[in-house]
Amino acid sequence: MTKIEQRLHFIQRRIQHAAQQCERDTGSITLLAVSKKQPTSRILQAYQAGLTHFGESYVQESTPKINALADHPLTWHFIGPIQSNKTHIIAQHFDWVHCVQRIKIAQRLNEQRPLQLPPLKLCIQINISNEANKAGIPQNALLELAQQIKRFPRLQLRGLMAIPQKLDNPQQQRIAFEQLRSLMHNLNQQNFQLDTLSMGMTNDLEAAIIEGATIVRVGTGLFGPRNETEP
């Protein structure tokens, strides 16, 4: 058994335990393997262990990996900051984008999404903890951006994403996740029909799942330190 397989089994047990706590079906929770800075060989190991969803943050690094693994049934999520001059690559290669926070970026993704591909699935990134050094829009800007994105035919707004302030106390961790869930609920009250909460990482995935996370993003918890090599 590889180290990736060992870690995957441990993360899966954590997800299952958290889901049981809140009486949720584990099938409603997608484990997104954050594979940035990981070589193709390790992504292939993760796929062979059973993972099919992978998250990348750097366009130039990700596209060779996506092309190299094109024969495998993988779903690719872009989870990093988006530069305007890179939107065409993201629109052509990815299935999901988790970090939209500007209408200009959404418009470019819509215009550059190839017609032969299904609409690009999006999450709007919220600065849920109001941290000055964190990406994401403020909560009071959400409705306007969601309304604008909804008009684009080549995009499908699916939900919200956030990276809250790092906290160690599970009860305190839940506060930001509950706020994000509430924001999605409010949009759905206005007929947005969202179904995705991309929240929770290695250190706080339990709190996120209890508050309704449908995608948890795990990197180090699966791949270990980035300089680690397999025997």
DSSP state, 60? H
* Token pair in block for residue 162: 């956030």
- Mean pLDDT of the residues in the chain: 95
Q: What percent of the chain has pLDDT over 70?
A: 97
Q: What is the pLDDT of residues 47-96, one digit of tens each?
A: 999 999 999 999 999 999 999 999 999 999 999 999 999 999 999 999 99
Residue 109 pLDDT exceeds 60: yes
pLDDT of residue 134: 87
Tell me if residue 107 falls in helix, strand or coil: helix
Q: Where are the domains of the chain?
A: 3-223
Cα(9)–Cα(13) distance, integer angstroms: 6
Q: What does the DSSP assignment read for 122-191?
A: EEEEE-TT--TTS-SB-GGGHHHHHHHHTT-TTEEEEEEEE-PPP-S-HHHHHHHHHHHHHHHHHHHTTT
Question: Is the pLDDT score of 197 beyond 70?
Answer: yes
Superfamily the domain 3-223 falls into: Alanine racemase (3.20.20.10)
CA distance 163 to 149: 21
Mode of pairing for the β-strands spanning 96-100 and 75-78: parallel
pLDDT at 227 > cutoff 70: no
> Does pLDDT of 230 surpass 60?
no
Q: ∠ at Cα 131 (130, 132), nearest 5°?
A: 115
Measured distance CA(223)–CA(219) in Å, rounded? 6
199 Cα distance to chain centroid: 7
Q: What is the pLDDT of residue 226?
A: 63
Q: What is the predicted pLDDT for the residue at 168? A: 93
How much is the average pLDDT of 125-139?
92
pLDDT in tens, 151-193: 999 999 999 999 999 999 999 999 999 999 999 999 999 999 9
Q: How many helices (DSSP H) and strands (DSSP E) are in the chain? A: 9, 8
pLDDT value at position 231?
A: 46
- Write the CA distances from 34 to 22, 79, 169, 220, integer angstroms: 25, 9, 24, 8
For residue 197, what are its two tokens?
A: 């909460």
